[in-house]
Amino acid sequence: MNGRTSIRPGCFPDDAADQLRLRYGLTAQVAEGYARAGFTVVVQDIIIGAFLSEFIASVHRRPLALVVLAPRPEVVSQREAVRPKTGYAGGWTVERLDAVFRSTTPRRGLWLDTSEQTPAETVDEIWDRLTEAFL
């Protein structure tokens, strides 16, 4: 592997998959280490498609809860418009990434449409529905 390999719509090089697996594997190792030390661990990342099942399998500590925040694409576009940076480049749009995300990602854990929620409301709903998030 030499440098970062980007994933573009319709183009998913082997190096990109290897880099994602490395990233998610290291994330799982760090989470496991903190959990062994007695911490409650929260991992925040974007994990799409089959990589989600792979990540879940690599985290051995239980209980394990998964919460997927999935606002509608038009709301994500509005939020992106006021951010100082963008998470969409290389041919990706909010709509295109959302379509790939929703069509390839296994429906595990608690999925929330946070389109109409403030961050505080999202946290409250997660706490209220936490049992639905356990795998």
The Cα 47–Cα 70 span in angstroms is 12
Sequence spans of domains, the chain: 10-63, 65-135
Q: Are 57 and 101 in contact (CB under 8 A)?
A: no
The one-character DSSP state at 38 is: T
- Partner residues linked to 68 by β-bridges: 111
Query: Does the global pTM surpass 0.85?
Result: no
Task: Walk along the chain (135 residues) and give the pLDDT tens digit of each residue.
Answer: 456 656 656 555 567 788 889 999 999 999 999 999 999 999 999 999 999 999 999 999 999 999 999 999 999 999 988 988 877 777 788 898 999 999 999 999 999 999 999 999 999 999 999 999 999
The one-character DSSP state at 3 is: S
CA dihedral 55, 59, 63, 66 (to 10 degrees): -20
Let me know if 60 is exposed, middle or buried by CB neighbors in 10 A (0-12, 13-18, 19+). exposed
Of 51, 58, 49, the C-alpha closest to 30 is 58
